Chains A and B, each alone.
Chain A
Amino acid sequence: MKNHKTIVLSNQEIAPGYFRMRILAPDYTRLAKPGQFVMFRVQRALLPLLRRPFGIFRAGFMPADCDTMPPKEFIEIIYKVVGSGTEIMQGLHQGDPVELLGPLGTGFDTGATRGDNILVGGGIGLVPLYMLAESVAEPARTQLLIGGRSRDDVIAVTEFERLGVKTFVSTEDGSLGDAGLVTKVLEKRLESTPQATVFACGPMPMLRAVAEICRMRGVRLQVSLEELMACGVGACLGCVVKGDGHSDAQPNYLCTCKVGPVFYADDLAWEGMPAAAGGDCGETP
């Protein structure tokens, strides 16, 4: 956990409205765990004021600009342009100064990935699943279900395929893969691999449906949540979600930035989960 004053290495539009940014990030290949995130300072100026949270898509090394230098360590984030901060981000270029606070939060419990795994990503919710897919012991026993509104919302599929995981794409408008919701695909996949562990990240309505499917079948589920965050380090208490058994008399608030963003579904109180939690990325349902 550190604040790096660093620079952008590259920033490219990969689908309409979706960008992939590579950022110089010393130590991240060693420190970043699947499901963790960074608090990203978009620019030195106080606009936007607060940092923005982004999941770490992957961490890696790239050759330095000249042979005598050690390779450069980087992370990649994939972001959707939804508001003032991401609008500034899409205009950033190689060499622009930015700041990274991280890696933050508690990621996926990767100890649970032995055997069959089903990874469910809705839209931009795919991001934290890549490092998880990289970490599983048997990629061939890992299935990735990607859902999006249309083909434009389905990103990075080929990279997952390169890891050797089986991918199943579905879009709500049928423009790519199966037509319909990703949850329908999940139900089908659970028929053939009922012992699988499920890992999900995406919009709250999707997560809610996934949680219900897994609960009915007694399937273990880990979910990655999004909440509005100010600090990212557990200090402001802005990002809480209600934990299992929460009541006004016996509050059980959990910080998404510390205890999460990944939770076991059983540890959360699903009733009354606000619409803001979950990666709706600013789209009002």
Chain B
Amino acid sequence: MKRRDKDTTTVNLQVEVAGIVLKNPVMPASGTFGYGEEFAPYLDLNSLGAVVTKGLSLYPKAGNNTPRVCETVGGMLNAIGLQNVGIDQFIAHKLPFLEQFDTPVIVNFFGNTQDEYAEVAARLDALPGVAGLEMNISCPNVKHGGIVFGTDAEAAAAVVSAVRKKTTKPLIVKLTPNVTDIRQTARAAQDAGADALSLINTLTGMAVDVKTRRPRLANTIGGLSGPAIRPIAVRLVHQVVQAVDIPVIGIGGITRAMDALEFLIVGAKAVQVGTANFVDPNAMATIITDLEAFCRAEGIADINDIIGTLEL
């Protein structure tokens, strides 16, 4: 067999989001990669653009009853209930592991109240090992009848500015797609001081076991993720990129480099890979290699030249 000489043209995959320099635009989505150590046997954490942790709160959180996950066509529903070890345990036992790697650590966090958000942000701000904060605003505000912060532009603006006051680190606000017009919460977050936006979080969904006639999740309703949601996510990223001036990180149903490229082309500066990590623990490494191969094949020297090149 005739082998073509390996093309060794270098391709620049480095991107920058809100002042965080990423080796490449690929990082895990919160909650699908644990605290990094769970995947270390399968994947070199040094190869990633960043590591994003499971969502953390001020105190440890128990989470929901089981069943917590179920598969649906092309995706899965989860209602984990944000189980996490809490900020103190994270700092003592999880962060030191992540600090060994030459990869920026982005800590995803949430709160039950505005004050809790602010306090977690203040704690994280003091940690040199944390490169950036990603705030999950898809959580109910227990002080205000459980209305989800991220579904109301005013509530979103208030909680983002409360957090902004507590940190000078890059602040990424993660948006929920479960709204009528995501551009409103996107602009609200930007105006309240977000340095970047990431989207989408899961879409609310439900599945029923027809034999028992019970919901397939103990929590009845869960969040849909995986390839099934990708077209919705691409559309929302496209709309948000048009509506704001800050960088956007695209998330939703990415399993291959081609999927990641869709998000980059509509204008995302980086992407997060979630459910695909469960399908293949090495998925992100393959995506990174294939992104480089795609650029080389297309004669693109710098991945930044692809970002926001959608032809309309």
Contact = CB atoms under 8 A, between A and B. Distances in A.
Interface of A: 1-3, 41, 46-51, 99, 101, 227-241, 248, 251, 253, 274, 276-277, 284
B68 interface: yes
Contacts of B282: 3
Interface stretch (B36-44, B124-132, B179-187, B234-242): B36-44
Given A228-B66, A235-B32, A235-B39, A46 B83 contact: no
B70 A228 contact: yes
B62 A248 contact: yes
Interface in B63-80: 63, 65-71, 74-76, 78, 80
B63 A253 contact: yes
Nearest to B61: A251
B308 interface: no
12 contacts: A3-B281, A46-B74, A51-B279, A228-B69, A230-B69, A231-B277, A233-B38, A235-B277, A238-B68, A240-B68, A253-B63, A277-B66
A233 B281 contact: yes
A257 to B, nearest CB: 10
A274 B65 contact: yes
Contacts of B227: 46, 49
Most chain A C-beta atoms within 10 Å of own C-beta, residue among B34, B42, B74, B226: B34
A28 to B, nearest CB: 15
Nearest to A284: B211
Most chain A C-beta atoms within 10 Å of own C-beta, residue among B62, B65, B76, B278: B278
Contacts of B278: 50-51, 230-232, 235-236
Given A50-B278, A251-B62, A237 B76 contact: no
Nearest to A273: B66
A236 B39 CA distance: 11
Contacts of A3: 42, 280-282
Interface string B68-101: 1111001110101001000000000000000000
Given A49-B226, A50-B279, A253-B83, A236 B74 contact: no
A239 B68 CA distance: 7
A99 to B, nearest CB: 8
Contact of A1 (B41, B62, B277): B41
B33 interface: yes
Given A228-B68, A248-B62, A284 B279 contact: no
Q: Is the interface of A mostly helix, strand, loop or mixed?
A: loop
Contacts of A238: 66-69, 78, 80
Contacts of A276: 66-67
B9 interface: no
B150 to A, nearest CB: 22
B185 to A, nearest CB: 26
Nearest to A229: B69
Interface in B214-264: 218, 226-227, 255
Nearest to A252: B62
10 pairs of A and B residues whose beta carbons are closest in the complex: A251-B62, A235-B34, A238-B69, A235-B38, A231-B278, A1-B41, A238-B68, A234-B38, A230-B278, A230-B69
B276 to A, nearest CB: 9
B67 A46 contact: no
Contacts of B209: 284
B275 interface: yes
Contacts of B31: 236-237
Contact of B67 (A41, A99, A228, A231): A228
B60 interface: yes
Contacts of B74: 46-47, 49
Contacts of A237: 31, 54, 63, 68, 80, 83
B8 interface: no
Contacts of B38: 231, 233-235
Given A237-B63, A274-B65, 20 more contacts: A46-B74, A46-B227, A49-B275, A99-B280, A101-B281, A228-B70, A230-B278, A231-B281, A233-B38, A233-B42, A235-B32, A235-B54, A236-B31, A236-B32, A237-B31, A240-B68, A253-B83, A274-B218, A277-B66, A284-B209
Contact of A50 (B60, B61, B71, B281): B71
A262 B192 CA distance: 49
A40 to B, nearest CB: 12
Contact of B66 (A48, A49, A241, A251): A241
Contacts of A231: 32, 38, 277-278, 281
A49 B230 CA distance: 14
A2 B63 contact: no
